[in-house]
Structure 1
């Protein structure tokens, strides 16, 4: 199972019995830097779309693919791993749901709670026919309703982000119109992203599970639902704190094009910053949990604030809007 972590293709899980697991040379958190077909030349995959990387790794059964890997346990090393292809699932799982019988506070009965795990805010580019997180979540909510769920827990603890459009649409499943996020560009202009669809997939009790690994779009959804007083945020004291957007800018100096090498230079720069409807940024501080739970993550350098030269937290004016008093019953 592969995920994209800030442009690096990272192995999150090895499927039991699959060729990657069988080779005994890969482990979770290893980073794939290059991919080669058989004995051919390596292709660098840093900052490449995950779907393109998947296409490079996939291939006919019994053929060979080579991976140039940075081990998660020893990032200073580089290994070449040779894998003979077989049937394997390369993309991260889609949204999934389970239902659990939870004891009532009185202790004389249980009540059903639906738990939805969302690994990323996956979606499709214009013109593509791919699964969308919002559509899948809405379908799962419908099934949980049919099973009599009295509350829903949305698990975003390992969700590192994804499509901003999906984050806005998904938050709209739980509110009946309203602002979801503000996006500030380098020129100072602020664009407000609203949910205009009055339809709500779920109006009942809602809790979000978060951790220091919940980043970017996850923080937008958690922060927006918290601003709307729509959900209880439970988990690590705060989320990851990634409230910025980066873009790859190709260096177009004339002398670069005279080089014989196919490689070109580029710079990755911050071009936008996210703010919640209240005007507060998610940068560095993240979204603070309503119900913090003790976690070892608090002591690990895994947040945005732990990075050198991380952009500072700030705020802008909040969005003026009115929410009907009877909206959340």
Structure 2
């Protein structure tokens, strides 16, 4: 099972064709982006892998071609702000042709669509720049329609100019409401528009290829995904929560790659020579490598040069904040190290509650993802990083601090490692099945917790929201099926499919790889991990041990909270290409508890508190306000009317916030005052701990003896 999900899946080293196809060369203009031979090979290989091995079988025909076309067009201009109706009419010749293009590895039509979009985008921003010298009347009663995705594409350039004149007016009005300095506002907007052009024109053919591959894979199912080499490297960092580099986060500012934060204890921090807002102007590999100028580079390309294997040397030329290119940059030598991404690691806190004259302590464990440093695990590193190991250490600490209960906070946790979901479940049950997996051949495998050790036996809840997905749903579903924990929050996402990672470098034959390198004269960039990228291919489906799939429906909580994240806009059941819900036979397991006897009382206690809870009242109002605003598609360009509306909204928001603050024992804020740092206004998290306290005060009234569940 561990191999199935994590080891690179090599489905035959020579599935790729022996050469890139010959293609008709399209008519181009200067600045147009073009596909390369490597992308042609990758396109055909990905299509072949999907057609042979994907769990959901979808023929690559005209029907799918239309879906891919619509998705790709939407990715380019979802809001119908750039392309003209005549452009889209021209594109429609590709609607039933893309399936043939994919099978032939032909990307000319795809790039033709992008290049038209690129021209229109640049035209629009340049037009916006030309409008900044206009004198606008902000007393007129006119509206700007900002949400246009349901409207037709604009018919003519004249109509497009009208739309964009209003957009410029809206941008200026926003700045005007903050400052009356018209000259300064126009200069600010000028820089903004120029930066938009600069950043857009840094898009390369890999970006275009990624846009199209997203359209292809998402037309099959929402979770089959292709990652180009740079995105593949980032995906694997997010999975492991570790990277090898200098320990700094970077951003692009005014054509400079700029240091935005420094990881404590990392190489950049230990050097004592690098500071936030320093600008990196050049990078060199090793002690003797030549410096490569990176001014004007995209930040992801710069990161590729700066990251690298642990123990290797990288040299940076840096300009401190306030210095110009006329000043001599200073050079810093750094030895790359393994960096742990702490911001996305498991964290804990303790909340205290008073119930029936007694003080209860509840440990809140925030689990942002199910991660594992697989490379370190595979290498035998005894200190490899993983969600389960981090949670186990926290539980040991909480037990020493004598907490009375635990809340596992899985809100916003989109999943990750299947193995970690199983191992984490094992911290709370003795042994037994955790999840069932049905593969493309309808073979069902039951994944078990085989470790009898239990890290926590006390009262427990799992807190979920709409963005709790995949591995989060496996864990929550298992805890609910076993009767081990109360599930509190909102219905989860419903992502119940299994993806296997396919390293395309291992699939595409060496002869094809060598041929592409010779034709394109491309070499592997220092620090990059892949030439062809990777495919995360849907190859199986998850089922709870009780038999129901987590797919589409997710996990329904025992005690529901209001849905802050709109259920009708986010979730697997909103995805047109999603696999359906179904059921299989349950797996034999023994329930360790049953909340049915106490659940009505717990719900009644929760509802009574919420009936008088100011934060709860305003949360419901905020949700209603969000729905109302979300339905709006236009905004006034009348300065007085817009100011009155925003002032009223701001006053209402401040009033709500202050009443929440007072209810939670905090001081109200004055208008414009900064919010105190590290302030926690998350009353739903606090309420989850209160529900666990309610249960703990009842004396853990679950079914004492295990109950056997058989198919």
- Same fold by TM (over 0.5)? yes
Contact 2:467 2:492 survives alignment (8 Å): yes
1-structure distance, mates of 2:533, 2:352: 55
Distance 1:147-1:255 versus aligned 2 partners, 3 A rule: closer
Aligned length: 274
Give runs of aligned pairs for residues 291-310 of structure 1, distance below 5 A: 291-299=559-567, 301-310=569-578
Of 545, 549, 552 in structure 2, the residue corresponding to residue 277 of structure 1 is: 545
Is 1:127 the equivalent of 2:373?
Answer: no
Per residue, is there more helix in 1 or in 2?
A: 2
Q: Can you list the C-alpha shifts for 1:54-74, whole angstroms capped at 9, x where unaligned?
A: 4468577454684259xxxxx
Instruction: Report if the CA contact (8 A) 1:97-1:117 is conserved.
Output: yes
For the Cα contact (< 8 Å) 2:243–2:340, is it kept in 1? no
Partner of 1:93 in structure 2?
A: 344
Question: Are positions 1:158 and 2:407 aligned together?
Answer: no
Residue 244 of structure 1: aligned partner: 497
* Residues 1:317 and 2:585 are matched in the alignment: yes
Number of the residue aligned with 2:232:
47
Alignment of 1:211-230 (within 5 A): 211-230=465-484
Of 335, 353, 368, which aligns to 1:102? 353
Q: Distance in 1 between matches of 2:243 and 2:402?
A: 38
Q: Deviations over 1:8-67 (max 9, x none)?
A: xxxxxxxxxxxxxxxx99xxxxxxx99xxxxxxxx8422331269944685774546842
Could you say what secondary structure the match of 1:179 adopts?
strand
Tell me, yes or no, if the aligned pair for 2:416 and 2:470 is still in contact at 8 Å.
Answer: yes
Rounded Cα–Cα distance in structure 1 between residues aligned with 2:346 and 2:352 = 20
Q: Which residue, out of 403, 413, 424, partners 1:170?
A: 424
The question of 1:198 aligning with 2:452 is answered yes
C-alpha distance in structure 2 between counterparts of 1:266 and 1:145, whole Å: 42
Task: Tell me how far apart the structure 2 counterparts of residues 143 and 109 of structure 1 sit (CA, whole Å).
Answer: 22
Which protein is bigger by CA-based radius of gyration? 2
Secondary structure of the 1:277 match is: coil
**Partners of 1:182 and 1:191 within 8 A in 2:** yes
Tell me, what secondary structure is at the counterpart of 1:110?
strand
Q: Distance in 2 between matches of 1:112 and 1:293?
A: 22
Q: Give deviations 1:113-138, integer Å, cap 9, x for gaps.
A: 11111111122322253222212211
1: CA distance between counterparts of 2:532 and 2:401?
Answer: 55
| Deviation by residue 1:279-317 (Cα, 9 ceiling, x = unmatched) | 111111111111110022134622122223111111111
Distance 1:256 1:284, change over 3 A: farther
> Normalised by the size of structure 2, how large is the TM-score?
0.35
Residue 115 to residue 58, structure 1, CA distance change in 2 (3 Å)? closer
Indicate if the aligned counterparts of 1:152 and 1:205 stay in contact, CA closer than 8 A: yes
**TM-aligned CA distance change 1:254 to 1:171, over 3 Å:** closer
- CA RMSD, aligned part only? 3.5
Q: Say whether the 8 Å CA contact 1:176–1:327 is kept in structure 2.
A: no
**How far did 1:252 drift?**
5.0
Alpha-carbon distance in structure 1 between the residues aligned to 2:402 and 2:247 = 41
8 Å contact 1:54–1:91 — kept in the other structure?
Answer: no
For residues 370 and 510 of structure 2, what CA distance do their matches in structure 1 show? 39
Give 1 or 2: higher strand fraction. Answer: 1
Identify the structure with bigger relative contact order (alpha carbons < 8 Å, sequence gap 6+): 2
CA distance in 1, matches of 2:466, 2:493: 4
